[in-house]
Structure 1
Amino acid sequence: MAKAIKKQALGRGLSALLKDPENDIKSIEDNNADKVVGNIIELEIASIEINPFQPRTNFNEDSLNELATSIRELGVIQPITVRKTAFNKYQLISGERRLRASKLVGLETIPAYIRIANDNDSLTMALVENIQRHDLDPIEIALSYQRLMEEISLTQEQVSDRVGKKRSTIANYLRLLRLDPIIQTGIRDGFITMGHGRAIINIEDLDVQTNIYHQIITENLSVRETEALVKKYQEGVGNEKQSVLKKESQFVVSEEDKRSIGSFFGAKVDVKVGNNGKGKISIPFHSEEDLNRIIKLLKD
């Protein structure tokens, strides 16, 4: 325990050093740079701005609140990483969930690693670190790979080396971006899996892609069943090609309508419609209090 307290005191001491105008560190060659770079330092949260290169766009509110509770009880266990942009000004490289949760708790400082890097290095570090996370959805990962290729001018082989993944894995993620935007949204929202998306991508016609997508949802098709459906369409077995082109039911609930319903209940609802036109709406709740809130909305 004494050792941990000593480390925190050191972090506060280095923080004071960084706020001294006479010791403004702008590059790795500057005086005292070796004391700052690579060390854990307590930084004022107000001095940290969000990284505009952050590839992650969706933050689960429940997960964020759980992290905030953990930070309130245990503190920030894993430091964030920032880069210095100006005197006592920093830009986030990685750790946005930790930073957001710390703000929710009301912390004024947060432990951080300081890096001195140009924009390209910052973008590369942010993208690579975020790709390694387990809670990014497949589309977010694909977009991160695409940004590494387009904005840093890396080849698929170079991206493979940077993130430690096989080139074929990189290619499979990037192919998801050829899906119709509605289907990409479906993957991000968890209505279908990456496996479903990889099967659908073998169809070039976007209208057929979306029809198969709706059929997967309404009939709850597995990845293997989806692959068989796509194969039959491609082979033109019997009238399968025509059946795939047809609407999977008498009507289709649009993604916009689903979002409207979800907005009303304050939850991500699941709407399914069968071939006979009948369907169901599933409304998730996370506690008794949340359930009572939904019931009150229905009564009102």
Structure 2
Amino acid sequence: MAKATKKQALGRGLSALLKDPDNDIKSAKDKNADKVVGSIVELDIEAIEVNPFQPRTSFNEDALQELASSIKELGVIQPITVRKIDFNKYQLVSGERRYRASKLVGLKTIPAYIRIANDQESLEMALVENIQRQDLDPIEIALSYQRLLDEIDLTQEQLSDRIGKNRSTIANYLRLLKLDPIIQTGMRDGFLSMGHGRALINLEKLDEQLSIYEKIIANSLSVRETEKLVRENQQKSSGSSKKSTTSKVPKEIKGAVKNFSEYFGAKVDVKVSKKGNGKLIIPFSSEEDFNRLKKLIEGE
């Protein structure tokens, strides 16, 4: 208990130091900066503003009230993190739920870790801290990944190192942003899972995505049932596409293809569109077989 009291008193002492205009700390090199930066300081809650870079825009009111009740009973157990932006002015980097809940119960001060960071560093800290949360929906995570890539100018490989996630995991989340906005909203509201979203993203046409999305909602389809519907839709689209784009192969071309097959020692296939253009397909069974065909084409 004595240790906790000492820690709290230290926080109040540092708070007084920060309110001294003759000792205003603007950078990590300033006098007394080493005493403040990284320490837990009791800050006036009114001296803190929300982070404009906060990637999270929605907060569950019931969960916020529960947290407020806990804070009223036990206090703020985990300090928030802020960055100093001016004399006795701070901006949230992480801990907005704790900050909001503390204001709800009327706290005048809140324990905080102080950082000195520029806008880009603040954005990165907020985004990375946000990604580590357990209660984010897949679209929130995808949007945070996209912002880190775009606004911090990271590559997927660098992002993978920063957050400790595989590149394939990051890519799967980012692909969700190609879904129709209505479906993205459905995922954010919890009507379907990331598994449903990953199945739907295989459909290129947004109207097809929406059609199956409506069936998922209406019939409470599982991810496996959704994947089956997507496959059936793709097969149907593929079949109709082939019918509309391919044409009968003219006799003279058929004869030439037969000669090609004999020459290459492989069953050569041909596809001809209604416009008259087409392609030859020469299969090979191995790298050695490929090299054999290559020599025949080059006339060696």
Q: TM-score, normalised by structure 1?
A: 0.79
Any idea what SS the aligned residue of 1:236 has? Answer: helix
Q: Deviations over 1:53-88 (max 9, x none)?
A: 000011000000000000000000000000000000
**Correspondence for 1:77:** 77
**Correspondence for 1:101:** 101
Any idea what SS the aligned residue of 1:229 has? Answer: helix
State the number of aligned residues.
241
Measure the CA separation in 2 of the matches of 1:238 and 1:115.
56
Q: What percentage of residue pairs aligned between the two structures are identical? A: 76
| Structure 1 letter corresponding to 2:185 | T
**Correspondence for 2:258:** none
| Structure 1 residues 26-45: aligned runs within 5 Å | 26-45=26-45
| Structure 2 letter corresponding to 1:182 | I
**Correspondence for 1:155:** 155
Q: Does 1:58 align with 2:58?
A: yes
Contact 1:139 1:177 in 2 (8 A): yes
**Correspondence for 2:143:** 143
**Correspondence for 1:295:** none
| Structure 1 letter corresponding to 2:177 | L
Extract unaligned runs of 5+ from structure 1: 242-300
Measure the CA separation in 2 of the matches of 1:153 and 1:237.
38
1:240 Cα deviation from its structure 2 partner: 12
| Structure 2 letter corresponding to 1:140 | E
**Correspondence for 2:270:** none
**Correspondence for 2:212:** 212
1:238 Cα deviation from its structure 2 partner: 11
Q: Does 1:92 align with 2:92?
A: yes
Measure the CA separation in 2 of the matches of 1:68 and 1:29.
37
Q: Deviations over 1:220-250 (max 9, x none)?
A: 1000110111011111299999xxxxxxxxx
Measure the CA separation in 2 of the matches of 1:31 and 1:232.
69
1:2 Cα deviation from its structure 2 partner: 1.1
Measure the CA separation in 2 of the matches of 1:57 and 1:106.
22
Measure the CA separation in 2 of the matches of 1:6 and 1:49.
28
**Correspondence for 2:234:** 234
Measure the CA separation in 1 of the matches of 2:130 and 2:84.
20
Any idea what SS the aligned residue of 1:190 has? Answer: coil
Measure the CA separation in 1 of the matches of 2:65 and 2:240.
48
| Structure 2 letter corresponding to 1:200 | L
| Structure 1 residues 1-300: aligned runs within 5 Å | 1-236=1-236
| Structure 2 letter corresponding to 1:68 | A
Q: Deviations over 1:119-178 (max 9, x none)?
A: 010000000001000011111111000000110111111111111111011101100100
| Structure 2 letter corresponding to 1:121 | E
| Structure 2 letter corresponding to 1:22 | D
**Correspondence for 2:272:** none
1:218 Cα deviation from its structure 2 partner: 0.4
Contact 1:233 1:240 in 2 (8 A): no
Any idea what SS the aligned residue of 1:114 has? Answer: strand
Any idea what SS the aligned residue of 2:34 has? Answer: helix
Measure the CA separation in 2 of the matches of 1:184 and 1:237.
24
Q: Deviations over 1:194-227 (max 9, x none)?
A: 1100100000100110111010010110001101
Contact 1:19 1:88 in 2 (8 A): yes
Contact 1:232 1:240 in 2 (8 A): no
Any idea what SS the aligned residue of 2:190 has? Answer: coil
Measure the CA separation in 1 of the matches of 2:36 and 2:164.
29
Q: TM-score, normalised by structure 2?
A: 0.79
Measure the CA separation in 2 of the matches of 1:111 and 1:83.
13
Measure the CA separation in 2 of the matches of 1:166 and 1:206.
28
Structure of higher CA gyration radius: 2
Give the direction of change, closer, same or farther, for the CA distance of 1:181–1:44 in structure 2 (3 Å limit).
same
